[in-house]
Every structure is written in C-alpha cells, then in structure tokens.
Structure 1
Amino acid sequence: MENHEPFGSVLVKDGEVILRAENSVFTGHDMTNHAEMNLVKQAAQHYDPAFLADCTLYTSTEPCAMCSGAIYWSGIGRMVFACSETRLGEIAGIGLNVPSRAVLQTGARAVTVVGPTNLEGEAAEVHQEFWPKHLGKV
C-alpha cells in the first residue's frame, strides 16, 4: 500500500477491479479516511446504487461501524474481508469492536458479508508490524 497504512479496499464488478482505495487517516489527518470510506466516496461519484448492487468490496480488514454504514448506504451488494475487527482489536487495542454483520443486518436491504477469510493470519501480520509504531497517534 502506497501510504504504508495497513488497510486497503478494491471494488470488483464481474471479476474486474474497477476502483481501489487506501486508508489515509494518518497521512490525511482525518479519522474518517478509512479505506472503505475512501472507496465508497469514489463509488458514489462514479456509479449508481443499482450498478453497485452487483459489485463486491474486498477489504483487508473488517469494516468498522462507520464504514459498514457507508457500504450499506452506497448500495454495494457484497463485502469480503480478511482480518476481523476482533483480531484487529487484539493487536491494536483500539476500536469499537462492532462486527460489520451486526451493523448490516439491521438494514432493510441485504448485504452479503464474507469473512474473515483464510487470509486472516497474513492480514494480521501486517497489523502486528504497523500498530506498535502508531499507537497513541490515533
């Protein structure tokens, strides 16, 4: 990841990556600049909800409550994450620890959630390297 922050997302339609986004919380000095939020903002500018309903958002780490809400409101139909919010909390010691499924299941529209995937161990390793250097900066 270019910004060296361990969060990244891609939006896929019919097997093709159509958008990419990274976390820019530290580099952008904005706590809402999560990778998923950055991606959803791009998606909303380029595509309508009907198009997004057939898209999958792949993300390195389970989206927080804020990002899960944005994913819901954007119309994205499916989300896949590698590292769980619970595992991130164990590593970083921060977070709301609200599973994305808990947020998304309250909506009137279904969003398919897949994760954590079998890549959780690899995704967690990146966080284990990052957070000791950045705790206290959040």
Structure 2
Amino acid sequence: MDETTDLTAHDLTHLRRCVELAREALADGDEPFGSVLVDPDGVVLHEDRNRTAGGDQTRHPELELARWAAAHVAPEVRPECTVYTSGEHCPMCSAGHAWVGLGRIVYAASTAQLVEWRRGWGMALGPVVPLPINAVAPGVPVGGPAPELANALRELHRQCAERDAVT
C-alpha cells in the first residue's frame, strides 16, 4: 500500500498526542516515540511511549500497544482499530501489529524521514534494516507522514542525537 499524507483533523489530533508522548519519552531519557491506540468509535483505548532507556530495545510503544490489544481488545474489533504513532513502525513493530490483527497505522514521520535525519547528523543506523510498514506487513493500511509535524519531530530526534553523542 502506498503512503498518503491525506490525513483528517481527527488523525492530526491523535498524532499531536503521539508527539507529546514522544516529548515525554525524550525527557525521561528514552528515544522520542509515542503511540496511541484508538477504537472504531474514535475512543483512545491505550497509549504508550518509548521505554528503551533501561536497556530493552524491544520496548517500543507500537509493540506495547499490540501486546495490550492482544490482551484487552476482542479479535473481531482489532482490525477496526487505528494505531497512531509519532514514527513509522520498525519491522519488529510492523510484524507485531500484523500478527495481532490491528487495523490502520497512521504515522507522523516516515522511516525514510527518520533515516535521512539520522544520516544528516552522522548517526549510524540501527541493527535492523529500516523498512516501511508494508514491506513487512503488506496488508496493513497506512497513512502518513504528517508534514505539519515534521519540524517538531525532527527537533526531538535532533535533541536525542545530541544527548546520545554526549553520553
């Protein structure tokens, strides 16, 4: 599926919350990522932020939401739910999302944007190939990126890069 930037006001409201969660994550020493799980009626079911600072690099909010949904959302409702996230799912999170059977993913910044930013700051890429969601989970509908939020996210990731370069 092709990415699209045709996002609704509803989408942008949830994406702004994801950016707030990303900001909270950065302030707590984590990488700046945040995600929100929304049911078919638009009700926020659960939200989380990156929690990798403790050394467990699998503590991505997107995977945490998939795990939470597996335990708390009926299987027949999951495909109608939407996961909003500050950054496009990595391959691990895309796979978790697909295996749990969640629906649409809407992201504020794409994997391509994150890779470009990191390269521009001279940072190494992570240990996993940076693939778009549909390269891992081809049946999942996706939306994003949100150009309105790119500058805010780029700044959060820049601050993270600077912090990590010092430590």
TM-score, normalised by the number of residues in structure 1: 0.86
Query: Alignment partner for residue 25 of structure 1, among 28, 41, 52?
Result: 52
- Counterpart in the other structure of 2:140: 111
Greater share of helix residues, 1 or 2? 2
Deviations 1:99-126 (A, max 9, x none): 1121121xxxx32101112223322221
Counting aligned pairs with the same residue, the percent is 39
Structure 2: how far apart are the matches of 1:15 and 1:97?
30
Aligned partners of 1:91 and 1:131 also within 8 Å: no
Count of residue pairs the alignment pairs up: 132
Deviates more, 1:81-90 or 1:66-75: 81-90
Root-mean-square deviation (Å): 1.8
Q: Which has the higher contact order (CA 8 A, sep 6+)?
A: 2
Query: Alignment partner for residue 84 of structure 1, among 101, 110, 115?
Result: 110
Task: Report how far residue 135 of structure 1 moved.
Answer: 4.9
TM-score, normalised by the number of residues in structure 2: 0.72
Structure 2: how far apart are the matches of 1:136 and 1:29?
18
Task: Report how far residue 48 of structure 1 moved.
Answer: 2.7
Greater share of strand residues, 1 or 2? 1
Amino acid at match of 1:22: R
Gaps of 5+ in 2: 1-20
Which structure has the greater CA radius of gyration?
2
Aligned partners of 1:83 and 1:115 also within 8 Å: yes
Deviations 1:60-102 (A, max 9, x none): 0011001000011111110000111122122233232211121
